[in-house]
């Protein structure tokens, strides 16, 4: 089991966390957002949080912390832009991400995923051969951009058209091109690719706990993950291959991912564990599990 945290991202920092919130710096703005796993007390005073933060996402306390309600939304104490850009640079492979204030409290990036971007970049660069990469549940495209910047042929699949459009903006601003953008239910797409006899050198999966496809397809992680992993095993190339799987369901151990990988992929060597963010105040904030391997 491994515990991994981003080490070199200059445009992001977790400053403090506690009392079900986190204080984060994204480029030019410091923000306060809900965090259900931060059950401890803040190390900095509330006054310090308020003086630093440009905005705060407020979640209706009468509702579950996992859902948004009618009284949810952003409250700003300083002037902010509607959107802004942050940079990512690892071993000379660069891309940009647009951030904006969404109604769900997300802003367009999950910072702990920088660990995977580094892994993807290193893997594709080490191969020094053409590589094809499939990114499923791909959100705004951080992993897709990392793979493309490293030289891969990338297919990006997400069920939400707005996320695809957002990813395209990131691609253009990053001066990258030719990512294949697909609005589709992930499992449907994978099954179709298997029937076509398609193979990918790398597959990245970032499935939500719950979700809906573009045609109303229902996704429940515990019910669909086994079938999805089995189908992906038919898509992954037998050699020069990698797999990345992230899980954000608080009820599932990283060992679940390891068991599925062993069953369907039989990797020579794999690593799995938890991602966390190290705060300026020396706290470790857990943010999901991961599994990855490369052969």
- For the entire predicted model, the pTM comes to 0.93
Per the DSSP assignment, residues forming a β-bridge with 220 are: 210
Per-residue pLDDT reduced to its tens digit, 12-44: 999 999 999 999 999 999 999 999 999 999 999
Ordered domains of the chain (ranges, CATH): 2-83 (2.60.40.1180), 110-294 (3.40.50.150)
pLDDT of residue 209: 80
Q: How many CB atoms are closer than 10 A to CB 183? A: 17
Q: What is the per-residue pLDDT across 140-174, written as a single tens digit (0 to 9) for each?
A: 999 999 999 999 999 999 999 999 999 999 999 99
Is residue 52 exposed (0-12), middle (13-18) or buried (19+ Cβ within 10 Å)?
middle
Give the rounded percent of residues in the chain with a pLDDT score beyond 90: 85
pLDDT for 63 equals: 45
On average, the pLDDT of the chain sits at 93
How many Cβ atoms from other residues are within 10 Å of residue 210's Cβ? 12
The predicted pLDDT at position 79 comes to: 95
Asked if pLDDT for residue 125 goes beyond 50, the answer is yes
Q: Which single residue is written with the structure tokens 């959107």? A: 83
Q: Which is it for the CA torsion 71, 80, 104, 288, positive or negative?
A: negative
């Amino acid at each position: 089991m491994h515990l991994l945290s981003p080490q070199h991202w200059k445009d992001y920092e977790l400053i403090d966390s506690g009392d079900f919130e986190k204080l984060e710096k994204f480029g030019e703005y410091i923000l306060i957002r809900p965090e259900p796993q931060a059950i401890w007390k803040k190390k900095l005073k509330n006054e310090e949080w308020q003086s630093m933060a440009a905005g705060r996402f407020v979640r209706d306390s009468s509702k579950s912390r996992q859902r948004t309600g009618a009284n949810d939304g952003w409250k700003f104490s300083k002037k902010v832009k509607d959107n802004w850009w942050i940079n990512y640079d690892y071993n000379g492979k660069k891309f940009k991400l647009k951030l904006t204030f969404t109604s769900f409290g997300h802003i367009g990036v999950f910072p702990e995923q920088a660990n995977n971007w580094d892994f993807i970049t290193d893997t594709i660069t080490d191969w020094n051969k053409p590589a094809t990469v499939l990114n499923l549940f791909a959100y705004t495209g951080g992993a897709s951009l990392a793979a493309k910047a490293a030289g891969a042929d990338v297919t990006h699949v997400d069920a939400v058209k707005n996320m695809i459009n957002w990813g395209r903006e990131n691609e253009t601003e990053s001066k990258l091109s030719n990512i294949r953008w697909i609005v589709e239910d992930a499992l449907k797409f994978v099954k179709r690719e298997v029937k076509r006899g398609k193979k990918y050198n790398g597959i990245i999966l970032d499935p939500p706990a719950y979700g809906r496809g573009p045609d109303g397809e229902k996704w429940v992680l515990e019910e669909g993950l086994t079938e999805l992993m089995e189908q992906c095993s038919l898509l992954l190339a037998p050699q020069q291959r990698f797999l990345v799987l992230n899980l954000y369901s608080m009820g599932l151990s990283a060992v679940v991912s390891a068991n599925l990988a062993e069953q369907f992929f039989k990797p020579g060597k794999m690593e799995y564990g938890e991602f966390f963010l190290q705060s300026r105040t020396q706290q470790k904030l857990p943010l999901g599990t991961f599994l990855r391997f490369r052969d």
